[in-house]
Structures are given as C-alpha cells and as structure tokens.
Amino acid sequence: MTINSRGVDTKNTILNVSLSLFTQNGYDATSVAEICRQAQVSKGAFYHHFPSKQDLFLALMTSWLNEVSESFRASVESSQNIPLAIENIADQSRSLYDALQDGFPILLEFWRQANNDPEIWQQAIAPYRRFLSFFADAIQTGIQAGDFDESLDPDCSARIIMAVAMGLLLQASFDPEYEKWHQVTQAGIKLVLNSMRTTK
C-alpha cells in the first residue's frame, strides 16, 4: 500500500459512508463525527481530505450527476429509436428502486439541499438543465424521425417525462413496501409516450 493508495482509500471510505448516512438520515442530521466514527477515521483525517462538510456533499452530488448523465447517453446510443431509448432509461430506474431500501434517495437529498443552499443550487442547476435539454433534444430527434407528433413541444414534454420519473421515485421512497414501482414506472412512461406518438 503506497502512500497514495492509503489516502485514496480513506477518502473513498469517507465518500461511501457519508453517502449512506446522507441517504439514511439526510444532510443536516448527519454529523461529521458520525461519518468519522463509521468510517473509522479521525476528524483530522476527514478535514484533511475535505475542506468542509458541504464540500463533501458537493463531491457526492457531482459524482452522482455524472454517472446518471453517462448512463443516459449510453441508453440513447444503444437504442434504435428515441421512444425505445426513453423506455430504456425508465427501465434503469429499477436500480434506483432497489437502492431505496436504504432510505430517502440521495437524488432527493441533493434536490432538497439545492433549494436551501445557494452554492449547492448553483452546482446542481446546470446539470439539471443539461438533463432537460437532453430529453428535449431527444424528443426533437424523435419528431424529425416521425416517431412523435410534430405538434409536440419538446421542452414541455421533457419536463413531463422527468416529472413522471421523479414523482414515482418520490412516492417509492415514501412507500417502499409496494413492490410494483418499477412496473408502474414503465407503464407511466409508456402512457406518456403513447400520447406523444404520431396520430397519423
């Protein structure tokens, strides 16, 4: 174990533990002391790797955002057409629901913090808008390919699709015992896509 990997290990442990704790108890209710305890690391080590608690949170958020972004892009590239790609993305929600047993999905904790902390908001609004235009662009492509009705507003539709996904995730976080969230998500997306399809 070189000097470098020692530090990297500690940092990753802190990242993993804090992700789990933020998910379980939320940002405010998670103390740095508790993170250190579970990561079996001293407070000094913590502040050696992260300037502040908020900075750690930001690191988690941008990392998660990048993962999701990459996963979306991969879905579109591996699908034959846009409607299928969107269904594909909805299908990936299964992993989100599986991780839900641990508590409030971390996405929503990001969301909540972004509403209260201007600095976090600033780092979150840009990726959010990227997601929006990602879907809007996809829908635009779908329209040109004849898969969607040409009278469709891509931006508006993108927000609706994101709403279905997030709204169901929100409900699933609250009522995780219900087992069919994944099916409901697929049904919901199909319902929306159905109305978006060309009527001709």
Q: Is 12 in the site for DNA (CB under 7 A)?
A: no
CA-CA-CA-CA torsion sign (12, 107, 186, 68): negative
Using CB under 7 A, pick the residue from 20, 26, 38, 47 that binds DNA: 47
Write down the least CB distance from residue 121 to its own copies, Å.
8
- For residue 146, give the amino acid letter: G
Q: Is 1 in the site for DNA (CB under 7 A)?
A: yes
Q: Is 5 in the site for DNA (CB under 7 A)?
A: yes
Q: Which residues contact 189 (CB under 8 A, 6 or more apart)?
A: 86, 87, 90, 161, 164, 165
Q: Is 48 in the site for DNA (CB under 7 A)?
A: yes
Write down the least CB distance from residue 6 to DNA, Å.
3
CA gap 145, 3 in Å, rounded: 55
CA gap 113, 26 in Å, rounded: 9
- Write out the two tokens for 1: 């174990």
Q: Which residues contact 49 (CB under 8 A, 6 or more apart)?
A: 7, 10, 11, 14
For its own copies, what does the binding mask look like between residues 132 and 171, x meaning CB under 8 A? ---------------------x--xx-xx-xxxxxxx-xx
3-state DSSP helix/strand/coil percent for the chain, to nearest 5? 80, 0, 20
- Write out the two tokens for 14: 């802190």
Q: Nearer Cβ to its own copies, position 109 or 142?
A: 109
The torsion region of residue 148 among left (phi > 0), alpha (psi -120 to 50) and beta comes to beta
Q: Nearer Cβ to its own copies, position 9 or 28?
A: 28
Asked if residue 142 lies in contact with residue 82, where contact means CB atoms within 8 angstroms, the answer is yes
User: Which range of residues in 32-40, 65-73, 145-153, 177-185 is near DNA by CB under 7 A?
Assistant: 32-40
Residues that bind DNA (CB under 7 A): 1-7, 9-11, 30-34, 40-45, 47-49, 52-54
Residues that bind its own copies (CB under 8 A): 24-26, 28-29, 103-104, 108-109, 111-112, 114-116, 121, 124-125, 128-129, 153, 156-157, 159-160, 162-168, 170-171, 173-175, 180, 183-184, 187-188, 191-192, 194-196
